[in-house]
Structure 1
């Protein structure tokens, strides 16, 4: 029987570690935190030096009882993560299990046999300072959230479910960053200028591209330049060859991993951390929550061996990276593979892709500089003082570029091509020269990754907080992440060719957005209210200062109670003031002016179903009238002129007349604008305004729908097992309906041409796949099953899906357990 009990927080981690320790060790999981502040009360006694009231989470009672039994008569080793959160979990385990103060605490940053055995040989006590830093964060965030959120419930009248409104110390500041960027974009005035690019014909049919370093502000200046170049002689005035080098970037920290995984793999911040957690727990990478750029000497030696073996001695250059962040924990390591000789890791495609990214970044950090030869040609114009510039690069030695190059958020970034052979004094033949109108662009909206970068720059939050913070503001619908179609605009272009200048007007798309973060009306309203009434809480410098104070607590420099007291007294006074303030100034309603026809006040408001214009007030003799505004419109942007135009213009639903004796109706629904015709819903193109759709455009969409293969759906197929079968198309694509069951049709199958035999095969395949998902069934109640889904096990009760609490073993659930969870 095992003499030792090792407790970790993750079952996957427990499984990996158990494989490295002998039979004397039993490894069990706490399934994360076991104790927390109560969910339905403040749980902090502000009159007793902020004493917290911790309780065992209801879904962890069984886990705690089991661990208590297992701990009896055994040496207990607390092996939770090596950070503040992990230290706190160990402390809570010690308290809840009634363990001795001398209970052994072991830490490691990678789950390998060497690291585990080394940790066993050097146990320590629980670091109370780290625990207090985590307690300070948890208690301060509880005080802010628990006392500020009810103020929002009382003051914000935005048609939202009041309990869905919340505020948080980091969450609200993050929303502020997104809102302020949106306002920068709104106030930005784009200016046009003319960029000149010339193409010269050189020997062997090669083209040399050169640009003028400045843009012309006015059309007349651009055309004058082209006119002057009609008879010009173009000569290479100087040719400069500069050897230069490019150095690799540091191995990944949490935030740089999130940014690069977003750019290169398209991962969200949460997805990156979820996949990285799996790689860590399976022993493939070091701990994924870190702000350190450092590699251990063992890791550097391991990387060097791999580089020399794979690429040669000249590609190796050991490097030590230091963080500029004074709070970075250099004793920890950057994110790296646990073994550089393992070039592929992970159990699924995403794990393999992220592991590959981590491996390449870490190995590249220990490689030689890339040696680059940069050539810059200055081209003189005989009729002008300006010079054109052509530049190019050639890689003389790949160095780290053989493995990896960091991506960039700069959309204008491009690689410079190698120039054709050139000589100083060489006369160039002009092929053509263009002066093209270009427009300045507003600041870019944030992606999840660039928002993380901004938070890190401002010193707001820490590696463990980025992903949950961004997930929260999206879940609360303060911010929406989506793609948006761009708009079209005209631009002018002047072309000099064969000594003649011609002008033309082209069109281009601009402003399209992919996976960007936009503030919602609700987000703006809540932000404006909080900034006006709690500016200190939403102040960037203050929020960063609090993070520094947490660091001071972790280092034992400051008492956590004193740190919280210095914040709380003033904060609580502001809460009391806000509760007594006028609720009409919540920002959910904007008075715009007076309706010229009725003489009543006109408001822009936000309601449960989106923005709308209201004419009149509830106190008027006649009831107010309401007109919906296009979804996505920010009410803070609606002017009086906009409101009057909306009131006078067409309104949804919009009837466009008859076609083939059926009415055509345009409307907007939950999934966007559509045309309703003969009982069928036909979506408008993304970005198309339903209020501007003409009858001709609607008929075009109707006919297009008829002529597409989907127009042949639904189809009736042969019965299978005595039950009717139809094929139709729904919101998520084509599907088979067999009796009362629905099955998706794979993308490889054509729902219009698929035959009866293949449909029968797909039904059998789908049933077999469904059977594999079943973890437990109950003969006494066939409506209840425990299933394995895309996001893990869950309980299916009839048509409802019920989440299984953390710490519960799905295979052990009885029918009574399932029904109880269903009631909850």
Structure 2
């Protein structure tokens, strides 16, 4: 009989099976196989009186998968659990072991950070036991999310018709709403600058008035600015001239959050798309009949690189660019929430250049692989060096400052063309010479309110505050928009930059949560909860005690909110439903306000505010291959048609040929 290996994704099972040879059969669990049941106290699937013991049930769409896995496990000589190398993957292995009767005290857990032959074979030489501390941490997270999600969502639905709340989701919404309130409360202040321009060796030098008699200059109106202009009409002298080399270090290799942020800014990829493409690069790409993973595991918050990769990369840099381009290996500082279980996101083989694999990749895969490859390589290269010049021109006790720089040595910029360097020339300056300004311009300005969050900025904010895990950010932000708590769209008709703006329902939801749950729906409490989950994963804290502390704090707040939160009825339109005669009311959806029947879900009549009827999905007569529900033809937000599962959002299947068209449309919308 063969050894059975279970992985999460079907796409990597064939690759791994090739590496292991004929004595192994590699099959997929297709992700999670079970979740908390919906029975017990409040339908939470958790026994509060028995140390929060969880009851699980096999997911409907995984019953056949589990049945097949059980049959194979019974026949196998040994069963190995090779799910993803993170807490979620550890929990999936534990669920599989429980359902398949695999002994968790045996060394049958296999972990690899990259899908390459060497890495996989080495991992199978060193199997370990399932790490129950990691499992407890993940289970605690799931129970917390179930309690908050079920109880808060039910409360909000009954009181203010909001659709959901979440431990991290609601804090992310708070950040969006708080930023909008800052913008609304912002009062612009007028200020002025005075610029003086000098010509030298054919270069135009721009300077700005900074000080008067050594004190910082502040101009709040046109009269003050004009006073400066009138006072500096004579020749200027150079009062200070400094020349020095300025070094610019490369950035560290990508972790999950920085990859999402930078791919959004540099490539125009939404976070969800970045993770989807990275998953494909990790799981393996077919190249000339063989498949191999091109990058290491893309869910990580460690900037560490293996010594093998560092050595190979430095050898390549030395051979391709020269000794002067080889830099030092720098590892970023670990934060309290950093999990150092595996490496930064890097190519699995530094000799596999982007151009050498380009023909095997889609355009998006190539863009992201190239981005990851050169970021990793650049992190081990020497700094760029600039000749930097700063100059101070003085006239009548007013100091005007300017600066320039030229690239002296390109260093890591040799390969990392995502950062541009433009020379700003000043020419040779003579401190003994008098300089006359070409022109002096006073300019009016107004202070600006803080900017709304782009996806990249919001992800950065969540990471810096220690809220949630980077691997969940894309889903959290998608949920906020899907629940109609915020819109995500262009800043203006002429801009492609997309930002989050809270809807009326989003503001209402946040305000009610802050009125009644401020002590737990806040940045500090949520970040502390993440730290506690990390300590549980390290075996340093008791998961039962952590859950009990939360329940003791949460349930009194819930009971008080249920009693005191005002119930808000939906605003009536003043018309009858043309289909059932019920009252028409205003509702909020992911694309804004619309009109719907108050008898929903019995009556599903709805229309846009302009009176047009929303086009209903058309049944295709086919079944979803993932969950068995009917497939329907829908119109997307971009006006294109696609075929998807009627069970959305629980099932997100989209028919492949239509999905490609949809992705092309999304690429056009998000291209930078």
Equivalent residue, structure 2, for 1:186: 184
Equivalent residue, structure 1, for 2:459: 452
State the alpha-carbon separation in 2 of the partners of residues 808 and 100 from structure 1. Answer: 34
**Residues 432 and 469 (structure 1), Cα distance of their counterparts in 2 relative to 1, 3 Å cut:** same
Q: Quick check: which has more Rg, 1 or 2? A: 1
Any residues of structure 2 matched to 1:381-780 within 5 Å, and which?
Answer: 381=395, 384-404=396-416, 417-485=424-492, 514-583=497-566, 607=571, 670=608
Question: Aligned residue pairs: how many?
Answer: 596
The C-alpha deviation readout for 1:375-424, integer Å capped at 9, x for no partner, is 0111122xx2112122111121111121227769xxxxx96612222222
Equivalent residue, structure 1, for 2:145: 141
- For residue 89 of structure 2, the aligned residue among 83, 86, 90 is 86
- For residue 380 of structure 2, the aligned residue among 366, 372, 382 is 366
Task: Give the SS at the match of 1:289.
Answer: coil
Any residues of structure 2 matched to 1:213-228 within 5 Å, and which?
Answer: 213=210, 214-228=217-231
- Asked whether the 8 Å contact 1:132–1:560 carries over to 2, the reply is yes
**Residues 30 and 391 (structure 1), Cα distance of their counterparts in 2 relative to 1, 3 Å cut:** same
The alpha carbon displacement at 1:237 in A equals: 2.9
Equivalent residue, structure 2, for 1:34: 33
- Asked whether the 8 Å contact 2:644–2:652 carries over to 1, the reply is no
The alpha carbon displacement at 1:125 in A equals: 0.7
**Residues 43 and 801 (structure 1), Cα distance of their counterparts in 2 relative to 1, 3 Å cut:** same
Equivalent residue, structure 2, for 1:245: 247
User: TM-score, normalization: structure 1?
Assistant: 0.68
State the alpha-carbon separation in 1 of the partners of residues 523 and 508 from structure 2. Answer: 19
State the alpha-carbon separation in 1 of the partners of residues 281 and 99 from structure 2. Answer: 30
User: TM-score, normalization: structure 2?
Assistant: 0.82
- Asked whether the 8 Å contact 1:60–1:807 carries over to 2, the reply is no
- Asked whether the 8 Å contact 2:644–2:654 carries over to 1, the reply is no
State the alpha-carbon separation in 1 of the partners of residues 255 and 92 from structure 2. Answer: 23
State the alpha-carbon separation in 2 of the partners of residues 39 and 391 from structure 1. Answer: 65
- Asked whether the 8 Å contact 2:303–2:331 carries over to 1, the reply is yes
Task: Give the SS at the match of 2:487.
Answer: strand
The alpha carbon displacement at 1:67 in A equals: 0.9
- Asked whether the 8 Å contact 2:200–2:426 carries over to 1, the reply is no
- Asked whether the 8 Å contact 1:263–1:407 carries over to 2, the reply is no
The C-alpha deviation readout for 1:155-207, integer Å capped at 9, x for no partner, is 21xxxxx4x6111111111100111111111111111211122222334x432
**Residues 268 and 89 (structure 1), Cα distance of their counterparts in 2 relative to 1, 3 Å cut:** same
The runs of 5 or more residues in structure 2 that have no matched partner are 211-216, 285-292, 575-584, 594-606, 635-642, 657-672
Equivalent residue, structure 2, for 1:236: 238
The C-alpha deviation readout for 1:564-616, integer Å capped at 9, x for no partner, is 001102211111111111515x6x8xxxxxxxxxxxxxxxxx8488xxxx9xx
- Asked whether the 8 Å contact 1:343–1:359 carries over to 2, the reply is yes
The alpha carbon displacement at 1:330 in A equals: 2.5
The alpha carbon displacement at 1:670 in A equals: 4.3
**Residues 672 and 18 (structure 1), Cα distance of their counterparts in 2 relative to 1, 3 Å cut:** farther
Equivalent residue, structure 1, for 2:264: 262
| Structure of greater relative contact order (alpha carbons < 8 Å, 6+ residues apart) | 2
State the alpha-carbon separation in 2 of the partners of residues 480 and 131 from structure 1. Answer: 36
- For residue 96 of structure 1, the aligned residue among 85, 99, 107 is 99
Equivalent residue, structure 2, for 1:328: 338
Task: Give the SS at the match of 1:207.
Answer: strand
State the alpha-carbon separation in 1 of the partners of residues 221 and 512 from structure 2. Answer: 44
What is the RMSD computed on CA atoms of the aligned residues? 3.4
The runs of 5 or more residues in structure 1 that have no matched partner are 157-161, 409-413, 487-508, 589-605, 615-625, 635-668, 674-680, 682-730, 733-781, 812-824
- Asked whether the 8 Å contact 1:249–1:406 carries over to 2, the reply is no
Equivalent residue, structure 2, for 1:195: 193
**Residues 253 and 3 (structure 1), Cα distance of their counterparts in 2 relative to 1, 3 Å cut:** same
State the alpha-carbon separation in 1 of the partners of residues 516 and 467 from structure 2. Answer: 21
The C-alpha deviation readout for 1:646-686, integer Å capped at 9, x for no partner, is xxxxxxxxxxxxxxxxxxxxxxx94989xxxxxxx9xxxxx
The C-alpha deviation readout for 1:750-797, integer Å capped at 9, x for no partner, is xxxxxxxxxxxxxxxxxxxxxxxxxxxxxxxx9645799xx9999656
Equivalent residue, structure 1, for 2:50: 48
Structure ranking higher in strand proportion: 1
Equivalent residue, structure 1, for 2:123: 119
The alpha carbon displacement at 1:268 in A equals: 1.2
The alpha carbon displacement at 1:632 in A equals: 10
- Asked whether the 8 Å contact 2:203–2:425 carries over to 1, the reply is no
Equivalent residue, structure 2, for 1:678: none
Equivalent residue, structure 2, for 1:212: 209
